[in-house]
Chain A
């Protein structure tokens, strides 16, 4: 049973381009969280999704950022028109349902040049 898979592991984008980060949850998990982390800082909550449903997006910027978790396929975190300040590590975690053990992927390190 593979763990949470994130790809790509490293992503370089020029300012103004789009970044698409993918997260495949553990088998059987229908809930996904996305977090952003800057070096030497904590994990900042962005969004919590269930398949085909956004449960809580209170941590996600209103503009340029969107997330989805379709019925089939991975969860996608999409950042449009990236700026240098978007450079960070983005982690996703999955769980069976809210309030249960959540397991993390290895993250995607986004660098905006």
Chain B
């Protein structure tokens, strides 16, 4: 569901480590999910998506895991780089597209 008015939780990782960003969703009937990356001053950028008939989907350095039982999504970023520093949002897209609160990822050199 939507989280509005909440300041962003943060995750700080060392360059080269793996990052895991979590997201809980509210609608058990949701069947399509998207992860977005938002850099400062820019619009959200599509990273990866997954449909509810899958548990896992991999992209380049990113993996999304979907656990429908507990309504949980995670985004895993392998070998995190400074350019990965951004805010990451998950979204449920059931015609209307609602966003989670977002997580700020900071990569330390």
Q: Which residues of A contact B (CB under 8 A)?
A: 4, 6, 33, 35, 40-45, 48, 55-56, 58, 91, 93, 98-107
A-B contact count (CB 8 A): 76
Q: Could you give 15 example pairs across A and B, Cβ below 8 Å? A: A33-B97, A40-B7, A41-B4, A42-B8, A42-B102, A44-B4, A45-B96, A56-B95, A56-B96, A91-B43, A100-B32, A100-B93, A106-B43, A107-B42, A107-B43
* The stretch of B14-22, B44-52, B61-69 that contacts the partner chain: B44-52
The number of residues on chain B lying at the interface, defined by a beta carbon within 8 Å of a beta carbon of chain A, is: 29
- Which of the listed residues B8, B44, B100 has the most CB atoms from chain A within 10 Å of its own CB? B44
Q: Which residues of B contact A (CB under 8 A)?
A: 2-8, 31-32, 34, 36, 42-46, 49, 89, 91, 93-102
B49 and A101 contact, CB distance less than 8 A:
yes
For A42, what are the chain B residues with a Cβ–Cβ distance below 8 Å? 2-4, 6, 8, 89, 99-102
With CB as the reference atom, state the residue of chain B lying closest to A47: B96
A40 and B97 contact, CB distance less than 8 A:
no
Q: How far is the CB of B35 from chain A (nearest CB, A)?
A: 12
Which one of B5, B7, B46, B93 lies within 8 Å of A99 (CB-CB)?
A: B93
